[in-house]
């Protein structure tokens, strides 16, 4: 079937399983309540429960590496509403990561200490005091975290409270949980614990971060939450493996990652550290460095950073597997991704929560025949290294499989963007692109030519390069609208293909700048929760009609 | 299709007053600074001319721009969505389906209170700035619009 843009086929949109329980979504996501009036958080005594024995026989799915642990479980099911805390071993598990995060947060101070130390002739007593202070603060915050963090499932809601002086309680509606992540760093592995992350929409902080739970506590919690959502947390028999990445693919992924940033960091560190380690040697080396040797060193730094990138990404994504679950109509469809050599991560995303899928094909990776797929929900994961919008990243996908991986996230899409010819941008969009390029090139080329005459004349090369780049960019733009999804593709250097479910559209915008007005063009911007997709430039009237017809009322 | 509504005409005077305040606090001092700089580099007269020219330009913009903005600003509460179009140089037309509206705010600053106007801001789950914002509505009309929009609901797509 050929979709002719917005044809007469609209109105045939099926209601997927996604819609059924979102209707009651008017409830508050979470509330912050002053805890001054609530009783103190105390660990609640666990009572044996007959249900627990029955659960022993159930095959709980927490990933293959966790499943082994599960068979030896004795599961004390908590009473409804009983507060539960972190595992006592969390004190050990959390100490080093928390201290490290604290130190990381104060890196400018550490840098000053490092540089200051070199002037004063090595780290002094004051510096050692700082280090001790960091460690003590880290230990203190770990103890407070363990003593005050309590969670429970109460009245159908998940509640979590923590804090000694600044106490807060969050109440999370299980229906609003976007995805559940299980993470195990090496400390978790040694102690047999697991970190549970429950992510909801609308807040950049990871909601309900339970840093160290025993596997049985984690399992019980996930089961309870799933039961509250009226779903089964068990792994379905109908599990379909979508993708498994081998070592070769992961190494290739690392090789195709840009690593210039690491070179800068490495060089900076070298320049900073060398005079501290051996001031005389550094000065001597600087004097005797021939230009050739300098180039060699830079190349070496590149090679090292490249190697580091390969190593890091291989360790991070080691053993990546992607499975699709819940194909039985009675179950909820889910995507499950597992990865990691030292720190194992497991992410489960219910398909009804998927906002968009993105295939990213940077030039080098594309030449290798691969791309990277990200699946985004409305949940914003605030991991320790910053906000991450994409909850599930499939690092290296063979081009032949790109569509099947994208479809595992948005099965309603029936069009393969790599085989089907997408609709092109309006021809005048190319002129607009070129005008923009000319303007930018002039801004750069004129001062360069004047300042660096006659070598600056080389900057005139920007014009033909800009024209070529604009043409390539235009050529690879594409878009398509089916009754179920919107597909958009942009970029030559970094080709990105977006597929977003139409029933997730939050708002639709039509924008037009002065240059676009001159060419009679308009641009449609589609916003979903947490992200936006821009369609290629179209004739203004065409874009206007898309705005009208993409608004969900047309087909609901 | 529901008729597109203009804003309350008083909003042009609100914007002009806000423009004059910006002129006094930001653009004016900048124009004077540029004039003084030029005067010190060349002759004092050149600096005075530049300052006056810049001040005249900014004043003209502060007076004329609100009329242009008012002319293009239109909104409509339609059966299924809220339509807002705005912008003079960079134009934007936004459609926000009623069922995607998370919350609606009305805001009134001291100057707006002087003119009896309110600002209605509409938020969706897209997590970005307000998806639709209607600045110059009579306070009563703004409250009615806010209540209308807040009443319509449904699947929020998250």
- pLDDT profile of chain A (556 residues), mean per 10: 33 35 28 32 36 32 39 45 86 82 74 60 66 84 89 85 81 78 84 83 59 86 80 60 90 82 66 67 68 77 84 92 80 86 86 91 92 85 43 90 93 91 93 91 91 87 92 93 93 92 91 93 92 93 92 54
Instruction: Look over chain B and give the mean of its residue pLDDT values, rounded to a whole number.
Output: 88
Of B68 and A122, the structure prediction assigns the larger pLDDT to: B68
Record the tokens describing residue B50, joined without a space: 């530049």
CB-based contact A506 B125, cutoff 8 Å:
yes
- Closest chain B C-alpha to A22 CA, distance in angstroms: 6
Record the tokens describing residue A356, joined without a space. Answer: 């968009």
* pLDDT recorded at residue A543: 96
pLDDT at B105 over 70: yes
What is the pLDDT confidence band of residue B14, given thresholds at 50, 70 and 90? very high
Query: What per-residue string of b and e applies to A454-470 under the rule 16 or more CB within 10 Å gives b?
Result: eeeeebeebeeebbebb
Residues near A547 by beta carbon (within 8 Å), at least 6 away in sequence: A508, A509, A510, A524, B93, B95
E-strand stretches of B1-130? 74-77, 81-86, 91-97, 101-107, 117-124
pLDDT at A64: 39
What residues of chain B lie within 8 A of the CB of A528, using their CB?
126, 157
pTM across the whole model: 0.71
Higher pLDDT, A267 or B11: B11
Contact B157 A529 (CB under 8 A): yes
CB contact under 8 A, A511 and B95: no
For residue A501, what is the nearest residue in chain B, using CA coordinates? B157
Best probe of the A interface among B89, B90, B122, B157, by most A CBs < 10 A, is B157
Count of alpha carbons within 13 angstroms of residue A421, beta-carbon side: 4
Option in A509, A527, A530 nearest B93 (CB): A509
Measured between beta carbons, the chain A residues lying within 8 angstroms of B92 are 509-512
Decide if A378 and B125 are in contact by the 8 Å CB cutoff.
yes
**A426-435, A547-556, B9-18, B59-68: least confident range:** A547-556
Instruction: List, as own/partner pairs, every contact residues A159-164 make where C-beta atoms lie below 8 angstroms and the sequence separation is at least 24, other chains included.
Output: A160/A207, A160/A208, A160/A210, A161/A35, A161/A38, A161/A41, A163/A35
Q: Which residues of B touch A547 (CB under 8 A)?
A: 93, 95
Residue with tokens 């330009």: B57
The answer, for B97 touching chain A at a CB cutoff of 8 Å, is: yes
pLDDT at residue A209 in the model:
73
The residue whose two tokens read 């195709």 is: A256
DSSP letter at A452?
Answer: T
Which residue from B minimizes the CA distance to A553?
B80
Cβ contact B126–A509 (<8 Å): no
ipTM of the prediction: 0.88
Least CB–CB distance from B126: residue in A26, A527, A552: A527
Query: Is residue A435 less than 8 Å (CB to CB) from chain B?
Result: no
Averaged pLDDT for residues B122-136: 77
Pick among A350, A507, A522 to test the B interface (most B CBs inside 10 A): A507
Instruction: Flag whether residue B90 sits within 8 Å of chain A, measured between CB atoms.
Output: yes
Q: In angstroms, what separates the C-alpha of B110 from chain A's closest C-alpha? A: 30
The answer to whether A167 and A35 have CB atoms below 8 angstroms apart is yes
pLDDT of residue A262: 61
| CA distances in angstroms from A64 to A53, A77, A217, A319, A346, listed in the order given | 22, 23, 17, 12, 11
**In the predicted model, what is the mean pLDDT of residues B71-99?**
91
Contact list in B for residue A513 (CB cut-off 8 A) is 89-90
B149 touches chain A (CB under 8 A): no
Pairing of strands A370-383, A386-398: antiparallel
What pLDDT is recorded for position B49? 95
Nearest CA in chain B to A525: B94
Q: Is B96 on the interface with A (CB under 8 A)?
A: yes
The nearest CA of chain B is from the CA of A365 a distance in Å of 30
CA distance B76 to chain A (A): 13
A506 touches chain B (CB under 8 A): yes
Does the CB of B31 have a partner CB in chain A at under 8 Å?
no
Residues in A closer than 8 angstroms to B153, CB to CB, are: 26
Interval B23-53: pLDDT, tens: 999 999 999 999 999 999 999 999 999 999 9
pLDDT at A266: 64
Identify the pLDDT of residue B25. Answer: 94
> A528 and chain B: CB distance < 8 Å anywhere?
yes
Q: Does B128 touch chain A (CB under 8 A)?
A: yes
- Report pLDDT for B50: 94
Instruction: Measure the CA–CA gap between A246 and B102, rounded to whole angstroms.
Output: 44
């Amino acid at each position: 079937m050929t979709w002719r843009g917005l044809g007469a086929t609209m109105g045939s949109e099926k209601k997927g399983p996604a819609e059924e329980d979102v209707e009651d979504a008017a409830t508050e996501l979470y509330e912050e309540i002053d805890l001054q009036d609530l009783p103190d958080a105390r660990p609640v005594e666990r009572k044996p429960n007959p249900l627990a024995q029955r659960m022993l026989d159930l095959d709980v799915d927490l990933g293959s590496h966790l499943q082994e642990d599960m068979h030896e479980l004795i599961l004390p099911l908590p009473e409804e509403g009983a507060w539960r805390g972190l595992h006592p071993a969390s004190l050990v598990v959390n100490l080093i990561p928390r201290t490290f995060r604290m130190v990381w947060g104060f890196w400018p101070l550490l840098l000053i200490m490092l540089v200051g130390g070199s002037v004063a002739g090595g780290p002094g007593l004051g510096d050692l005091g700082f280090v001790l202070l960091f460690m003590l603060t880290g230990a203190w915050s770990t103890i407070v975290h363990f003593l005050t963090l309590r969670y429970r499932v109460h009245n159908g809601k998940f509640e979590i409270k923590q804090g000694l002086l600044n106490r807060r309680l969050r109440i999370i509606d299980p229906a609003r949980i976007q995805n559940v992540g299980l993470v195990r760093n090496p400390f978790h592995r040694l102690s047999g614990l697991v970190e549970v992350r429950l992510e909801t929409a609308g807040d950049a902080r990871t909601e309900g971060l339970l840093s160290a739970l025993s596997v049985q506590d984690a399992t019980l919690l996930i089961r309870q939450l799933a039961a509250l959502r009226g779903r089964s947390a068990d792994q379905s028999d109908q599990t379909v493996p979508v993708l498994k990445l081998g070592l070769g693919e992961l190494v290739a992924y690392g090789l195709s990652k840009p690593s210039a940033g690491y070179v800068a960091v490495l060089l900076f560190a070298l320049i900073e550290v060398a005079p501290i380690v051996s001031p005389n040697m550094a000065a001597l080396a600087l004097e005797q460095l021939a230009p050739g040797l300098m180039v060699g060193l830079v190349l070496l730094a590149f090679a090292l950073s490249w190697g580091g990138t390969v190593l890091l990404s291989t360790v991070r994504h080691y053993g990546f597997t992607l499975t699709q679950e819940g194909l039985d109509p009675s179950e909820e469809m889910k995507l499950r991704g597992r990865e990691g050599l030292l720190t194992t991560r497991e992410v489960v995303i219910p398909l009804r929560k998927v906002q968009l899928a993105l295939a990213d094909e940077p030039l080098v990776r594309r030449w290798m025949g691969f791309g990277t797929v990200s699946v985004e929900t409305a949940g914003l994961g605030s991991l320790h290294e910053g906000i991450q919008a994409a909850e599930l990243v499939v690092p290296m996908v063979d081009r032949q499989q790109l569509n099947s991986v994208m479809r595992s996230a948005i099965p309603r899409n029936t069009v393969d963007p790599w085989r089907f010819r997408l609709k092109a941008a309006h021809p005048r969009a190319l002129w607009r692109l070129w005008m923009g390029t000319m303007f930018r090139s002039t801004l750069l080329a004129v001062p360069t030519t004047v300042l660096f005459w006659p070598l600056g004349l080389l900057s005139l090369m920007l014009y033909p390069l800009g024209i070529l780049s604009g043409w390539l960019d235009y050529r690879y733009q594409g878009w398509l609208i089916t009754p179920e999804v919107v597909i958009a593709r942009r970029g030559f250097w970094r080709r990105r293909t977006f597929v977003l479910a139409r029933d997730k559209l939050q708002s639709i915008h039509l924008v037009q700048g002065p240059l676009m007005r001159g060419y009679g063009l308009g641009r449609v911007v589609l916003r979903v929760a947490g992200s936006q997709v821009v369609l290629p430039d179209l004739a203004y009237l065409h874009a206007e009609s898309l705005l009208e017809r993409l608004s969900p009322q047309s087909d609901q | 299709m529901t008729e597109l509504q203009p804003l309350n005409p008083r909003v042009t005077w609100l914007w002009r007053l806000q423009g004059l305040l910006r002129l006094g606090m930001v653009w004016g001092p900048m124009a004077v600074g540029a004039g003084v700089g030029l005067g010190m580099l060349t002759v004092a007269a050149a600096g005075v001319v530049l300052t006056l020219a810049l001040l005249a330009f900014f004043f003209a913009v502060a007076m004329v721009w609100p009329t242009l903005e008012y002319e293009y600003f239109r909104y409509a509460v339609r059966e299924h969505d809220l339509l807002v179009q705005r912008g003079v140089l960079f134009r934007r037309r936004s459609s926000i389906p009623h069922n995607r509206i998370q919350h609606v705010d009305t805001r009134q600053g001291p100057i707006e209170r002087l003119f009896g106007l309110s600002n209605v801001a509409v938020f969706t789950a897209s997590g970005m700035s307000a998806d639709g914002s209607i600045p110059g509505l009579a306070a009563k009309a703004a409250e009615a619009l806010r209540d209308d929009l807040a009443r319509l609901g449904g699947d929020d797509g998250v």
